[in-house]
Amino acid sequence: MSADVVLTDVNKVYPNGFHAVYDFNIEIQKGEFIVLCGPSGCGKSTTLRMIAGLEEISSGTLEINGKKVNNAAPKDRDIAMVFQNYALYAHMTVYHNMAFSLTIRKYDPVEIHARVMKAAEILGLVPYLNRKPKQLSGGQRQRVAVGRAIVRDPVVFLLDEPLSNLDAKLRGSMRKELMQLHERLNATFVYVTHDQIEALTLASRIVVMKDGYVQQIATPKEMFDKPENLFVAGFIGTPPMNFANGVIDDNVEYFEHISGIKLKLSEHQQEILGNYAGKPVIMASRAEYIFVDDASLAKNPNSTFDLKVDYTEFLGAYNLVYGTIGEENVIAKVYSRDEIKADTLKACFDMEKIHFFDVETTKRIR
């Protein structure tokens, strides 16, 4: 595999002195679907715009297809961009919206026609080629915007929140279409979203950013199972992780939860927590690894606790149980077949799936 897009120590300082992106490093392989994700203002659009050439790179290098392109004009970068606000030309038909960028680049008309028809077929737009944008649904318009990028046949597609103008249902189906499109084109995608669910469903690798800094770069599964720090742990996953303060006992056998319960550490945890004897740590548990069924309780006798139920949300296959352990809030995801009859449930953690974080550095202890 060859790297398509390489960012090395890329920084962005805006003219007013605001440092929006710090030391961004990544090697994006050909055909990857990279999703830049993070809360508003974290620097994800700035990063994408630097790759596109719409924003100057303050320091560091950007290579596309093996060439340094820091100073290349956007049109010379072998990229095509799809924006949130897809701004189709209202007076042009779907066909001409897609053909336009090739026409102004003086492509041969036969070639233009072939490319537009191919893109229209891929996107299911053939029946709409003679329509104007206002005669299309939101999803169809979004597909035309993607079509304008496809006809350029770029090395890299850059997409900035392309689905955020669509309603929830349409977003779901467009997500599926984008995944299929990515597979079909076998091109490299760099995609910006603030929506972690979109990131988890689309990405081959996710980049989580906060305050201009990359927090972690990992596959969705790695990011979900092994968040690098407390920020990523709280950002990725619905419902968010449960956090609890507590102390590792002097013999490094137990985590003493702030509520007073003692949870037996697994062998692996005892190994990695060696330096934390008698010290405070933050425990993090996913709602899906809290169990209330008899078999799990029998299997995990040293990590049981009383879960006081405040309320439950029925979500079909499972319930979300909102409750407390002592004073600490906790959310558990419990199969609907495990009926919730009492105000207080006997529950247990699967300790193998529990993470501990350093109080000072906020990094996962490993």
In the complex, minimum distance from the CB of residue 15 to ligand ATP, in angstroms, rounded to a whole number: 7
Nearer Cβ to ligand ATP (46/140) = 46
The CA distance from 270 to 252, in Å, is: 6
In the complex, minimum distance from the CB of residue 239 to ligand ATP, in angstroms, rounded to a whole number: 22
In the complex, minimum distance from the CB of residue 158 to ligand ATP, in angstroms, rounded to a whole number: 13
Whose CB is nearest to ligand ATP? 45
Nearer Cβ to ligand ATP (44/77) = 44
Nearer Cβ to ligand ATP (48/307) = 48
- What does DSSP say about strands 290-291 and 254-257: parallel, antiparallel, or unpaired? unpaired
Cα 256 to the center of its chain, rounded Å: 33
Integer angstrom CA distances of residue 272 from 201, 268, 275, 303: 31, 6, 8, 19
In the complex, minimum distance from the CB of residue 21 to ligand ATP, in angstroms, rounded to a whole number: 7
Q: Give the footprint of ligand ATP on this chain (CB under 6 A).
A: 14, 16, 18, 20, 38, 40-46, 194
Element (H, E) at 60: strand 59-64
In the complex, minimum distance from the CB of residue 191 to ligand ATP, in angstroms, rounded to a whole number: 12
Q: Where are the alpha helices (DSSP H) in the chain?
A: 44-52, 94-104, 109-123, 138-150, 168-185, 196-202, 220-225, 230-235, 267-272, 294-299
Nearer Cβ to ligand ATP (18/89) = 18
In the complex, minimum distance from the CB of residue 316 to ligand ATP, in angstroms, rounded to a whole number: 31
- Tokens 């992780």 belong to 241
The CA distance from 147 to 124, in Å, is: 10
Nearer Cβ to ligand ATP (13/129) = 13
Nearer Cβ to ligand ATP (62/144) = 62
The CA distance from 191 to 162, in Å, is: 8
